[in-house]
Amino acid sequence: MTELARPGKIIAIHLNYVSRADQRGRRPAAPSYFFKPASSLAATDGVVERPAGTELLAFEGEIALIIGTAARRVSVDEAWAHVASVTASNDLGLYDLRANDKGSNVRSKGGDGYTPVGPELIAAASVDPAALRVRAWVNGELAQDDTTAGLLFPLPQLVADLSQHFTLEPGDIILTGTPAGSSVIVPGDVVEVEVDAPDAPGAPSSGRLRTTVTQGEVEFDPALGSMPAVDDLQRAEAWGSRELAGLPAVEQQSGLSPELRAKLEAAPTAGLSSQLRKRGLRSCFIDGLSANLPGAKIVGAAKTLRFVPAREDLFTSHGGGYNAQKRAFDAVDEGEIIVIEARGDETTGTLGDILALRAKTRGAAGVVTDGGVRDFDAVAEIGLPVFSKGAHPSVLGRKHVPWEFDVTIGCGGATVQPGDVIVGDGDGVIVIPAALAEEVADAALVQEDEDAWIAEQVAAGNAVDGLFPMNAEWRAKYSLHLASLAQEPAER
């Protein structure tokens, strides 16, 4: 076993394997990173403690790069020469603290023993960085198996990118991302990670990096800082899926029955709006929006998201990391519609292609925003229906601070509550109180059939006077029409 010197820096990338990105439903356009403290470093055949009062400790098998010579502003072509060796690593993380860290991962991934590395070093010069393999086993069963051919960002690119921001020094460690298969481990589990180059001469290997999970006895002190907290989103991401986490499938989370959804999909918003107006609801139309996809029709329960006007200090505290906007898109369930309060400001984007991809992957029925959309063409190409004020290239922070989700909001002049039924088509978007949705849908379909019959009479040359709306004479004719339809099945 090779003894590693204490590194000056441990840098890890958030998301880098295609398999993992597809599992998460988001592909970053560029690499993003976080630091891990040198005190988290651990050797092979070590132990890692799951703190008392927590449940979601997860393993991540990764390839670690050990810097050999200082690198500052090196090119991609030069970068690999600055890497001395590669080996196995386990980027352990505690999802119970992930939301509190807002992407920095200081506490969620910085615990003592959370970065096992080793046991043997493979000379970087002897291998092709595009032909390395990483595998991980839990209690002897293979859990991860992928190669660097499946990276979003090649290993030399990571070295070159980081070197343009700060000097990479000898002994620094870069953790290069984990593939699909990462999941939760519990006390008593044994995780093994191996990196090798199966196609290189001699098939060099790091050997198996072995870590055993133990149960801690000391709980975090609430008087000192934020406490561990988990929700179903964190459970699903820590385990790798809702099914593995023992959670009901997202299809069961939607607030609309298949029967009601079918009725609303058949009913035009114009007809639904008329039925709401008959019931005294005259302020349920979201004004000024149009669809990014011609002919788009959306039906679903509202998942609300609220932005407040931009203020520098509030954006600093609420705009970065795992903010309310990202949390809402991560939490949307299949069949739901994300409805965004942007105060009618169309001069900046309220979502872009990455969040649209996340919503699409989660099964969202669409997005409604009374603001602009960034990456407008890319969002349309993803196939996610979005009703908005139109395209705008600016980023969110120009006008908005993502503040909260799953609260009552105002969008395009209409009040929207979580769980309200949203229906959008070529005429626009309306909001239906959930308790009235069935009644309004049934009435709108009845009215739609009636309007279709009236249109037939007009097409046949009849005047609209007395026909639209129908007087007693025309109503009697329509009743006979309905009676004849009711008899048709019996006569066949």
What's the pLDDT at 251?
44
The domain at 258-438 falls in which architecture? 3-Layer(bba) Sandwich (3.50)
Report whether 240 contacts 180 (CB < 8 A): yes
Alpha-carbon distances, residue 270 vs 288, 293, 302, 367, 433 (angstroms):
15, 19, 19, 20, 16
Task: Give residue limits of the domains in the chain.
Answer: 10-239, 258-438, 462-491
**Is 472 exposed, middle or buried (CB count within 10 Å of its CB: 0-12, 13-18, 19+)?**
exposed
Amino acid at 272: L
- pLDDT tens by residue, the chain, 492 residues: 567 888 999 999 999 999 998 887 777 888 999 999 999 999 778 899 999 999 999 999 999 999 999 999 999 999 999 999 999 999 999 998 887 776 788 999 999 999 999 999 999 999 999 999 999 999 999 999 999 999 999 999 999 999 999 999 999 999 999 999 999 999 999 999 999 999 999 999 999 999 999 999 998 888 888 788 887 778 888 898 888 888 876 443 446 888 999 999 999 999 999 999 988 898 899 999 999 999 999 999 999 999 999 998 888 888 887 888 999 999 999 999 999 999 999 999 999 999 999 999 999 999 999 999 999 999 999 999 999 999 999 988 889 999 999 889 999 999 999 999 999 999 999 999 998 999 999 999 988 888 888 899 999 999 999 888 888 888 888 888 888 877 765 443
Q: Which pLDDT does position 482 carry in this prediction?
A: 81
At residue 488, the pLDDT reads: 61
Measured from the Cβ of residue 404, the count of other Cβ atoms closer than 10 Å reads: 16
* pLDDT of the residue at 241: 84
Superfamily holding 10-239 = Fumarylacetoacetase-like, C-terminal domain (3.90.850.10)
457: its two tokens: 């009479």
Phi, psi (degrees; rounded to nearest 5) at 423? -130, 130
Task: State which H helix or E strand residue 403 sits in.
Answer: strand 400-405
Question: Quick one: CA dihedral 370, 373, 377, 381, positive or negative?
Answer: negative
Taking CA atoms, 54 is separated from 181, 186, 235, in Å, by 21, 10, 12
Residue 385 three-state SS: coil
Q: Which residue has the tokens 């035009």?
A: 268
Beta bridge partners of 17: 151
- From the number of C-beta atoms within 10 Å of its C-beta (0-12, 13-18, 19+), residue 76 rates as middle
pTM: 0.57
